[in-house]
């Protein structure tokens, strides 16, 4: 956890919403110099903080509307801090809670050097990262439709005639295999939506790959040297990391990627783990997928997995492999070296 400890003359805490934002500005002595609810407009915000522009820092909690104010502060040369939502539990505590109270608590945390920082993702790659996340969202929706078709087959205890319906040529005649007209309508609807998804997702992938060449072609090429990490997983990892230098150590990267569990203990006693939702869920998914795909047609990798299974069990073995791949990616990107399977399996 990183805290913002730089001292300033004024500290501005903002409880930010889509249409309104509550500002609280404290001076170095902790006295409230401004406490006001305003519209979320650039000109209004700049006008309100103008008397404090000589030395002011702005902080907001990380929620979906932070992009515009972060970009505005960077453009105007105003120090900006993005508070980590899950760590900032102090804001949600207390007997009473409203926008006015929350804005002051953010300002107080900022002034006291106790506001936990989230990463302010740079504007240059942010939109492409969000496009990639949207592509993955649509892929999951399409996968749900495939699963629904297969589950419907199981409901009616039909033979496994469907095959790989992800391929368009294998979808012909599937609807007619069901007897009930309503079921046929349902399956036909699923296929219609899947057919609509296919060209949209294909175009998104082409556009993302084209844009990725301009952002970090070296890192993209290095990630593609890892067995199991293809064009999409490499892009997910690349855009979720952005810059490997922002992680001081491999342990920090593994923790951010949710590849390790955080121990919860007190007075020398262990109480399990905590912090499962803190970190990057997209990297967790990418490395978990890569661990499974790494084994496909990889006999050397399968032998290594079998040794892990004998010692830890199947589920834990795949988690260990995903963690190991995350560590390998960290050092690959840091040292600008391609993947070496012999070294990977020997460590």
Cβ contact 162:172 at 8 Å? no
Cβ contact 87:59 at 8 Å? no
Q: How far, in Å, CA of 287 to CA of 240, rounded?
A: 12
Q: How far, in Å, CA of 332 to CA of 339, rounded?
A: 7
Cβ contact 84:1 at 8 Å? yes
Q: What is the dihedral of CA 238, 244, 250, 252, to 10 degrees?
A: -90
In a structure prediction context, what are the per-residue pLDDT tens digits for the chain, which is 347 residues long?
A: 789 999 999 999 999 999 999 999 999 999 999 999 999 999 999 999 999 999 999 999 998 899 999 999 999 999 999 999 888 876 666 777 889 999 999 999 999 999 999 999 999 889 999 999 999 999 999 999 999 998 998 898 887 666 678 888 888 888 888 889 999 999 999 999 999 999 999 999 999 888 887 788 889 899 999 999 998 899 999 999 999 999 999 999 999 999 988 777 777 777 767 767 789 999 999 999 999 999 999 999 999 999 999 999 988 999 999 999 999 999 999 999 999 998 998 76
Burial class (CB in 10 A: 0-12, 13-18, 19+), 204: middle
Segment 91-123, tens digit of pLDDT: 666 777 889 999 999 999 999 999 999 999 999
Chain mean position to CA 182: 39
Phi, psi of 36 (to 5 degrees): -150, 145
The top-level CATH class assigned to 10-111 is alpha beta
Task: Find the distance separating the first CA and the last CA of the chain, reported in whole Å.
Answer: 29
b/e burial code for range 65-101 (CB count within 10 A of at least 16 → b): ebeebbbebeeeebebbbbbeebbeebeeeeeeebbb
- Residue 26: strand, helix, or coil: strand
Q: What is the pLDDT of residue 54?
A: 93
Domain ranges in the chain are: 10-111, 123-215, 231-263+277-346
Burial class (CB in 10 A: 0-12, 13-18, 19+), 278: middle
């Amino acid at each position: 956890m990183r805290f913002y400890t730089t001292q300033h003359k004024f500290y501005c805490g903002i409880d930010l919403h889509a249409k309104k934002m509550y500002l609280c500005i404290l001076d170095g002595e902790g006295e409230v110099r401004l406490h006001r609810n305003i519209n979320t407009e650039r000109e209004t915000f700049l006008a309100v903080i103008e008397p404090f522009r000589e030395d002011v820092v702005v902080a907001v909690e990380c929620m979906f509307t932070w992009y515009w104010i972060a970009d505005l502060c960077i453009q105007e040369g105003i120090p900006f801090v993005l508070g980590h939502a899950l760590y900032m539990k102090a804001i949600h505590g207390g007997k009473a809670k409203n926008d006015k109270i929350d804005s002051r608590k953010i300002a107080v945390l900022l002034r006291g050097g106790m506001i936990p920082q989230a990463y302010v993702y740079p504007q240059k790659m942010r939109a492409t990262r969000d496009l990639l996340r949207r592509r993955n969202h649509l892929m999951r929706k399409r996968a749900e439709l495939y699963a629904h078709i297969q589950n419907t087959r199981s409901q009616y205890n039909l033979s496994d005639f469907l095959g790989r319906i992800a391929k368009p040529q294998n979808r012909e005649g599937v609807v007619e295999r069901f007897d009930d007209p309503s079921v046929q309508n349902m399956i036909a609807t699923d296929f219609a939506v899947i057919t609509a998804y296919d060209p949209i997702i294909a175009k998104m992938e082409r556009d993302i790959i084209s844009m990725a060449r301009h952002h970090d072609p070296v890192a993209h090429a290095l990630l593609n040297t890892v067995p199991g990490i293809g064009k999409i997983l490499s892009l997910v990892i690349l855009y979720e990391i952005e810059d490997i230098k922002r992680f001081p150590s491999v342990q920090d990267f593994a923790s951010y990627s949710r590849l390790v569990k955080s121990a919860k203990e007190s007075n020398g006693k262990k109480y399990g783990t905590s912090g499962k939702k803190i970190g990057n869920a997209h990297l967790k998914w990418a490395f978990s997928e890569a661990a499974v795909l790494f084994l496909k047609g990889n006999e050397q990798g399968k032998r290594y997995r079998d040794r892990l299974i004998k010692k830890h069990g199947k589920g834990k073995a795949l988690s260990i492999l995903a963690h190991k791949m995350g560590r390998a990616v960290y050092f690959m990107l840091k040292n600008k070296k391609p993947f070496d399977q012999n070294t990977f399996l020997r460590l």
